[in-house]
Amino acid sequence: MFTLAEVASLNDIQPTYRILKPWWDVFMDYLAVVMLMVAIFAGTMQLTKDQVVCLPVLQSTVNSKAQPGTSGKADFTTVETTTGQGEEASMRTVSFGSAPTVTPDIPLSRATSSQYQPTESGQELKKEQKDSSGRKTNLDFQQYVFINQMCYHLALPWYSKYFPYLVLIHTIILIVSSNFWFKYPKTCSKIEHFVSILGKCFESPWTTKALSETACEDSEENKQRLTGAQSLPKYVSTSSDEGSPSASTPMITKSGFKFSADKPMIEVPSVTILDKKDGEQAKALFEKVRKFRAHVEDSDLIYKLYVGQTVIKTVKFIFILCYTANFVNTISFEHICNPKVEHLIGYTQFECTHNMAYMLKKLLISYISLICVYGFICLYTLFWLFRIPLKEYSFEKVREESSFSDIPDVKNDFAFLLHMVDQYDQLYSKRFGVFLSEVSENKLREISLNHEWTFEKLRQHVSRNAQDKQELHLFMLSGVPDAVFDLTDLDVLKLELIPEAKIPAKISQMTNLQELHLCHCPAKVEQTAFSFLRDHLRCLHVKFTDVGEIPAWVYLLKNLRELYLIGNLNSENNKMIGLESLRELRHLKILHVKSNLTKIPPNITDVAPHLTKLVIHNDGTKLVVLNSLKKMTNVAELELQNCELERIPHAIFSLSNLQELDLKSNSIRTIEEIISFQHLKRLTCLKLWHNKIVNIPSSITHVKNLESLYLSNNKLESLPAAVFSLQKLRCLDVSYNSIALIPVEIGLLQNLQHFHITGNKVDVLPKQLFKCVKLRTLSLGQNCITSVPDKVSQLLQLTHLELKGNCLDRLPATLGQCQLLRKSGLVVEDHLFDALPSEVKEVLNQDTSIPFANGI
């Protein structure tokens, strides 16, 4: 037989799960243990002491008749007294003078051995027979054992024999039903995860500090009320909701709650001190709680399983009570047995006694009492389960008692688990709610961030950019450290991938700040900070994925000079971008849009009167509607890159003030419209590079004011003479085409300073090329040139000469006469340079500090 400890182990759960066991579950567990004790006690008694003792019932008619005796013959009767199964029986033999009365059906072999002893007289025997007590049965010990066993199985009701086992089975079923939700795989993992997170949240130092800070703030507010403080906004950031009547509203401000310096609560800042390890653990807990909530709130399996097991226990209670009550009266001490073994015993009826009857009856009544209490608790549990909606949990009380008024209500299994925890201790839910609050998480991030990014560390990350400005780039932080705004000499601030960026009033200390970058960073600003940015910010870069990430305050920066928007702005969302607000940008000069536009938003014309540069970089989306360009009469620089243009847009010819046009990376095949550029008197730079242009029309000669012409990465096979009639041309780039010949007319470009023809099929350099004595940059690499004329020495202003990738055998020694050319500006193979005369190499290796212009 198993022990109580072995069976009770079914009721064991992990100690940490006890917070999910309300008082009724605990009480039912103890009742189950008591029922187990009843079952095991009854079973032990039954196995060791349970037995039935039977005696034959003698027919009265048989006993009253006198059997005809034979005088002179001895008679004997064996009387047995059976004390119980397994015990020895004692027999007493009494001799009589008359013949014995023996049931004829009893075999002689079963009769007790007879001993005939002589008697003095028949009268004495008769007298002795009359004086003897008891009834004669003529049964031996084995027959009594046989009858006792037969009647145990035939006469006793089945419930008396199997009562301990039934109680044990029912109790085990109840125990399993009570703890099944802790064992079922689909719920066990969630419960284990929940209990683990709950314990860590309860013990986290951040929980204590956050609640303590709330208490301090409440105390401070009470002091302010008692002293008649009327100007709460004086100590709160101006970005807070001033109209809120709630005492906890100031805690939700973007910059947090601030105490004035003249208040005695000087120990409040120390409340938020948190070491790095605790801070990292708290941040990990916030992430775990967020993921667990998303995982558990989608399902109500735990709730349904708990309700199901409670219903099963209730049905089990009703079933046990119904059938057990009927068997109380069947347990009796006396029983009549008719074993139908008369051919073996000689008797048809026996009267038996059950020695465990009274004990079993008392145990059964005790068991019924316990199961009734158990059932009433089950009914109460069902009442609790359906009395209130347990699949919804509100933190309203926690929100009222703390400053974290943004703690969300939860539902489904998450809500049910919190309801169960409340039955254990409501403090767990209160401390757990801290990790559901975004305000709390933001405070933790702010504390950890300021602890990690000190002023000294930020100063080490400041660098100088290409414009020789002091620049600080912050990447993937949880927020903007407060120490950033102490860098008063900073010129450029870049904030990238900082989703919770907040710009406080302290930014007004950064008087040198003129350029701000917000890369996937929807920054929020306080009113004072916005006023400063509106008056001082000159350049703003905003990179976003969705148009909603663009902060609304961007369109109100009236002194902004340059605006760069990089992100998704397709035509379907143009109305959502709020470009109509651009009319407030009264000083905007440069607008740069890198997106996927199919048309130029007409609202851009709101800034047309003062816009001087418009840049549109598409991602390959075809720009089909360009009529809005006609209104931008003051635009001096226009870039339409990667817009899948096939021809030069006619709207461009209306831009009378246009000075530079860049149509890079389109699909332009022909430029016959170039003749219309003669109306653009100020056009000096034309960039048609990275297209599919096959030839240059002769009408280009009418664009007389061109100074720079970029035609690289096209499909040109020749350069028409008309190009060389552009006397003002200072830069000509025809690199990476299929040009095989440089026309001799190139000598007419006396103002040419930069000539790029890299990556073509040129094999001969005309002598007229070296008449362009103002050349500073000459790129001839990756061609088929076999020799460089000695007249290269005429290029006295040459600073950059590229010859690498040709078929040269040697370099002319006259290179040494190019006074401004140095080795760093000479791009050739090493063996060609080494073959130069030593005096030439010595000249080329000299350092020079002579300044020279870079040209256009």
Q: Encode pLDDT of 196-227 as tens digits.
A: 888 888 888 777 776 666 555 555 444 444 44
CA-CA distances (angstroms) from residue 691 to 643, 646, 761? 11, 9, 19
At residue 9, the pLDDT reads: 56
Q: Where would I find the H helices in 412-437?
A: 412-424, 426-433
372, 374, 378, 384: CA torsion to nearest 10: 110
Q: Could you give the CA distance from residue 282 to residue 178 in angstroms, rounded to a whole number?
A: 34
Amino acid occupying residue 246: S
Q: Where are the domains of the chain?
A: 4-57+155-184+309-389, 716-849
For residues 728 and 748, the answer to whether their CB atoms sit within 8 Å is no
Radius of gyration for the chain, computed over Cα atoms and rounded to the nearest angstrom: 53
Cβ neighbors of 416 (< 8 A, separation 6 or more) are 300, 302, 303, 306, 390, 391, 393
Closest CA to 453 of 489, 417, 486, 493: 486
CA-CA distances (angstroms) from residue 307 to 148, 192, 302, 371, 378? 49, 19, 9, 19, 11
Cβ neighbors of 646 (< 8 A, separation 6 or more) are 666, 667, 668, 669
- Is 0.75 topped by the overall pTM? no
How many CA atoms does the CB half-sphere of 495 hold within 13 Å? 24
Helix (H, G, I), strand (E, B) or coil at 616: strand
Q: Could you give the CA distance from residue 406 to residue 252 in angstroms, rounded to a whole number?
A: 8
Q: Could you give the CA distance from residue 286 to residue 445 in angstroms, rounded to a whole number?
A: 11
Cβ neighbors of 207 (< 8 A, separation 6 or more) are 201, 431, 434, 435
Helix (H, G, I), strand (E, B) or coil at 564: strand
Tell me 259's DSSP state.
-
Other CB atoms closer than 10 Å to residue 3's CB: what's the count?
9
Q: Could you give the CA distance from residue 228 to residue 218 in angstroms, rounded to a whole number?
A: 15
Helices and strands (H, E) in the chain, number of each type: 21, 26
Domain 4-57+155-184+309-389 has CATH 1.20.1440: yes
Q: Characterize the bridge pairing of strands 826-827 and 392-393.
A: unpaired
For residues 566 and 543, the answer to whether their CB atoms sit within 8 Å is yes
At residue 379, the pLDDT reads: 93
φ, ψ of residue 337 in degrees (nearest 5): -120, 130
Helix (H, G, I), strand (E, B) or coil at 214: helix
Q: If you count them, how many residues does the chain have? A: 856
Q: Could you give the CA distance from residue 289 to residue 303 in angstroms, rounded to a whole number?
A: 19
For residues 640 and 623, the answer to whether their CB atoms sit within 8 Å is yes
Looking at the domain covering 716-849, what would its CATH class be?
alpha beta
Strand residues in 33-140 grouped as ranges (E): 52-56, 75-81, 90-96
Q: Could you give the CA distance from residue 305 to residue 248 in angstroms, rounded to a whole number?
A: 39
Give me the residues paired with residue 842 across strands.
none
Q: Could you give the CA distance from residue 454 to residue 484 in angstroms, rounded to a whole number?
A: 9
The secondary structure element, H or E, covering residue 731 is strand 731-733
At residue 53, the pLDDT reads: 84
At residue 378, the pLDDT reads: 93
Would you state the structure tokens that stand for residue 185, as one six-digit string? 């795989």
For residues 688 and 665, the answer to whether their CB atoms sit within 8 Å is no
At residue 487, the pLDDT reads: 92
For residues 407 and 399, the answer to whether their CB atoms sit within 8 Å is yes
Q: Could you give the CA distance from residue 340 to residue 349 in angstroms, rounded to a whole number?
A: 8
Per residue in 438-467, pLDDT (tens digit) is: 887 778 778 888 888 899 999 999 999 998
Q: Could you give the CA distance from residue 202 to residue 289 in angstroms, rounded to a whole number?
A: 13
SS3 readout for 452-466: HCCHHHHHHCCEECC
Closest CA to 203 of 121, 282, 307, 321: 282
Would you state the structure tokens that stand for residue 375, as one six-digit string? 């059932």
For residues 148 and 85, the answer to whether their CB atoms sit within 8 Å is yes
Q: Could you give the CA distance from residue 211 to residue 452 in angstroms, rounded to a whole number?
A: 23
Would you state the structure tokens that stand for residue 408, as one six-digit string? 């969300």
Other CB atoms closer than 10 Å to residue 718's CB: what's the count?
13
Q: How far is CA 559 from the centre of its chain?
A: 42
For residues 481 and 453, the answer to whether their CB atoms sit within 8 Å is yes
At residue 563, the pLDDT reads: 93
Phi-psi region of 628 (alpha: psi -120 to 50; beta: other; left: phi over 0): alpha
SS3 readout for 673-705: HHHHHHHCCCCCEEECCCCCCCCCCHHHHHCCC
- Segments in the chain below pLDDT 70: 1-15, 59-135, 210-275, 570-581, 848-856
Q: Could you give the CA distance from residue 755 to residue 708 in angstroms, rounded to a whole number?
A: 10
For residues 221 and 248, the answer to whether their CB atoms sit within 8 Å is no
At residue 356, the pLDDT reads: 83
Closest CA to 605 of 634, 576, 567: 634
Other CB atoms closer than 10 Å to residue 30's CB: what's the count?
10
